[in-house]
Amino acid sequence: MGGIMKKRGRILPGMAAGNIKRNRRAYYPYIFVSIFAVFTYFVFDLIRKLDVLYSLPRGIYVVTTIQVGFYLLGVIMVPLLCYANRFLIRQRKRELGLYCVLGMEKKHIAALMLWENVFLYGIVAGVSVALGLSLCRLLFLIVLNLTGMPVNVDFSVNLDSIPDTLLFYGAVTLLNLSVDLVQVGRARPVELMEEEKRGEKPKRLLPLWTAAGVLALGGGYYLALRTHFDNMIFTNFFVEVFLVILGTYFLFTSGSIALLNAIKKRKRLYYRPDCFITVSGMLFRMKRSAASLSNICIFLTMVIITGVCTMAVSLGMDSILDHVCEKNVEIVFLGEAPGDREELGKRAEELAEENGVMLEEYVDYASVTVDALRLGNVFSNRAQAEEQNWKEARNAEVLLMTIEEYDRLEGERETLQPGEVLLCSDGMAQGWENVTLGSRSFRVKREPDACRAREKAGSNNADPYSYVIVAADKGELKEMAACLGVEADGNYLYYCGLEPKGEPEAIDAFLAALSGEVSGRTGFASFLDHRGRVADLKSSYGSLLFVGMFFGLIFLMCLLAILYYKQISEGVEDRVNFEIMQKVGMSDAEIRRTIRSQMRLVFLLPLGAALIHTLVAARALCVLLGAIYFYETGILYASALVVASFFAAVYVVCYQQTSRVYYRIVRRGDGETAGRP
């Protein structure tokens, strides 16, 4: 008896290794997806544990961003690996059922599956850790380059990440094995043999679920198109995403079937040869494949949107930094002016020249700044807005200045009549004929394209936040301020903005001298050097780009895994249908043409829906990215066009490649692909 057990103990590992080799078309994609997932997890864990990051300037921003990305990875990777395992075990159940029929006990099948998972664990863990150790330095340098930190730093790997990664993948492997053992243990051999013929269960109450899908998708689109910047912007965005995902799932799983059923009821249309075959085939496919197709659509949308955001932010980084800090150095005085304004400007130029620094730009102006709320073309203070019950009011910053100050700032010769104003914003042109401040309206004479007091990004078509309103004289400016609940005389600020260029040491010396020069002047309020803030933001955004690139690859991997496994499932299911159509008299050419047209339609549906989702989401992305001061909508839409075209091409190519596997299964009955021994 002991000899028999030893013999079985030697046979099972060999059978497990042989099964992996024979079923390589099913196992290799699973192994590839697993290696990518574990490698990504390992790399993020390595980078977040690098001691050198904590010692670098602004390294904490990188650590924080990657830390958040690391935990999000865990949330995404576990469902991805479980999803890939679900397709894998589904292809294996016929083989396992055959073992049962041939007399193999389920405890031995469980031992066989355990050995298979041990081998898979060793392959995936070994390759993932080896790749991570080989490429982690390169990826670390990419992070440093993106974040603008010095790249000539010592690099040492924290080996604590290896057991953490092995433990993570071990827990996922154990979870998948447990689920597989429960499914196989509860199923009868006949059920295992028939498993691969079972599609995804269609929903009941199709009209109800279809209506729910239309309402959810319509609601998501409506919210996306009406998105505006407020304190709830991120919450609203996640609600929009949830509604679109929910609507997509319902419309694929129920709406498509309800539509095909409606066509089927129109007998004159349905009982035509081409239509009959196409509709019947599509109905069969959608009942069995709709949930997977909705997943493909959702992941393709995620891939495109992640790519769009990453590319747009990368291209618009300089614009973001310029908008966050319009001038690297800002000096503020209380009151209209600190004595001789011209003398201050000349003194700044002299100090710059003495220290070998060039002043690229020098801007100074006096204004009254008011925090207000806006509803359409009406501005009001918060107390007035609450009295009028403004529910959709938006925050706004209003700069009030006289036409004299504006002419001096812009070098123009503009005139205004009483009751007229100039209006300029940091966003898209408003096109208003009148603007109302509190209870008084003013006629907008002209809306300049730009104003140096609040510069507009090159292609900023976003909804503005800052507005410059130019009054005919100081008397009208005081009246405007009073309409917004502010006393002008006590709230004047004189602002100086500088852009010094040169060596960092020379700029430091210049700013030290300038600070000493202005700090003793009457009304001095603050001296702000934003260079450190710009560097901090660059580090934060650079690490976001790194995380965004990886997440784009992760979503793409999810998409490709689902697409590949779906093609295998379709091929196994259609092989029998292919034989039946041959028996009823259809030629091979007719069958191939019918199946090809159905497959194209089925797999182009997710692509079309994903492109529509992306088009609608572009509006919400414009507003959402405004939270990080990205207003270059031209760059965003150009990025959307490029990224959507690229991934659409990738999707079509991947479909064509995976279709070859499908046609081999259908035409030849390739048992190896189907997961048979």
pLDDT in tens, 538-548: 777 777 777 77
DSSP per-residue string spanning 288-345: HHHHHHHHHHHHHHHHHHHHHHHHHHHHTHHHHHHHH-SSSEEEEEESS-SS-HHHHH
For residue 489, what pLDDT is reported? Answer: 83
Range 406-437 burial, b when 16+ CB lie within 10 A, else e? beebbeeeeebeeebbbbbbbbeebeeeebbb
- Paired with 528 in beta bridges are 330
Strand 358-375 relative to strand 394-402, pairing: antiparallel
Closest CA to 286 of 620, 601, 519: 601
Instruction: Determine which of 64-78, 280-294, 607-621, 639-653 has the lowest per-residue pLDDT on average.
Output: 280-294
pLDDT > 90 in the chain, percent:
8
Q: Is 519 exposed, middle or buried (0-12, 13-18, 19+ CB in 10 A)?
A: exposed
Contact 403, 412 (CB under 8 A): no
Average pLDDT over residues 401-416: 88
Residues forming beta bridges with residue 471, ordered by sequence position: 402
| Residue 101: CB atoms within 10 Å | 11
Place of tokens 């078509």: 461
By three-state DSSP, how is residue 365 classified?
A: strand
Distance between alpha carbon 556 and the CA centroid of its chain, in Å? Answer: 12
The predicted model gives 509-532 an average pLDDT of: 86
Mean per-residue pLDDT, 264-293 = 66
Selected residue with higher pLDDT from 39 and 77? 39
Average pLDDT score over residue span 396-420: 89
Which H or E element spans position 499? strand 492-501
Provide the mean pLDDT of the chain: 78
Q: In the chain, helix, strand, coil percent, each to 5?
A: 70, 10, 20
Is the pLDDT confidence value at 655 over 80? Answer: no
**Amino acid occupying residue 403:** I
Residues in Cβ contact with 551 at an 8 Å cutoff, skipping those fewer than 6 apart: 69, 72, 76, 306
411: left (phi over 0), alpha (psi -120 to 50) or beta: left
User: Which candidate, 89, 66, 48, 100, places its Cα nearest to that of 173?
Assistant: 89
Q: How far apart are CA 3 and CA 14, in angstroms?
A: 17
pLDDT per position as a tens digit, 184-242? 777 666 666 665 555 555 556 778 888 888 899 889 898 888 877 666 677 778 888 88
Whether the pLDDT of residue 147 is over 70: the answer is no
Q: What is the pLDDT of residue 559?
A: 77
Task: Choose among 243, 261, 244, 269: nearest CA to 203.
Answer: 261
pLDDT tier for residue 604 given thresholds of 50, 70 and 90: confident
| Rounded average pLDDT over 94-111 | 76
Q: What is the pLDDT of residue 671?
A: 42
Q: What is the pLDDT of residue 425?
A: 84
pLDDT value of position 403: 92
Confidence label for 434 from pLDDT (cuts 50, 70 and 90): very high
3-state SS, residue 492: strand
Only one residue has tokens 């010396």, namely: 509
Q: Are residues 428 and 462 in contact, defined by beta-carbon separation less than 8 angstroms? A: yes
C-alpha–C-alpha distance, residues 321 and 418, integer Å: 38
CB 571 within 8 A of CB 262: no
pLDDT, residue 469, reads 92
Determine the pLDDT at residue 668.
56
Nearest to 313 by CA among 540, 557, 69, 151: 540
**Residue 634 to residues 227, 312, 316, 612, 644: CA-CA distances in angstroms?**
18, 9, 10, 19, 15
- Nearest-CA neighbor of 404 among 382, 422, 424, 377? 422
d(CA 456, CA 466): 10
Q: Is the pLDDT of residue 502 over 80?
A: yes
Length of the chain: 677
Whole-angstrom Cα distance, residue 142 to residue 493? 43
3-state SS string for 115-153: HHHHHHHHHHHHHHHHHHHHHHHHHHHHHHHHHCCCCCC
Given a cut of 50, whether residue 564 has pLDDT beyond it is yes
Q: Which of 614, 546, 568 is nearest to 141 (CA)?
A: 546
654 contact partners, CB below 8 Å, separation of at least 6: 560, 563, 564
pLDDT at 126: 92
- Grouping H, G, I as helix, E, B as strand and the rest as coil, residue 522 is coil
Run of H or E including 542: helix 531-583
Looking only at the bridges linking them, the beta strands covering 466-471 and 420-425 are antiparallel
* Cα(350)–Cα(218) distance, integer angstroms: 62
What is the CA angle 423-461-362, rounded to 5?
A: 60
Residue of higher predicted confidence among 174 and 591: 174
Looking at residue 2, its pLDDT comes to 43
**Residues 616, 617, 623, 629, Cα dihedral to 10°:** -140
pLDDT above 90 (res 536):
no
Question: How much is the pLDDT for 585?
Answer: 61
What pLDDT score was predicted for residue 22? 79
Q: Which of 253, 45, 270 is nearest to 136 (CA)?
A: 45
Cβ–Cβ under 8 Å, residues 91 and 19: no
Whether residue 484 has pLDDT greater than 70: yes
Strand partners, 495: 332, 365
Question: Which of 111-115, 255-259, 429-433, 616-620 shows the lowest mean pLDDT across its residues?
Answer: 255-259
Check: CB of residue 133 under 8 Å from CB of residue 43.
no
What percent of the chain shows pLDDT beyond 70? 78
What's the mean pLDDT in 334-346? 79
The stretch 235-262 carries a mean pLDDT of 82
8 Å CB contact between 562 and 295: yes
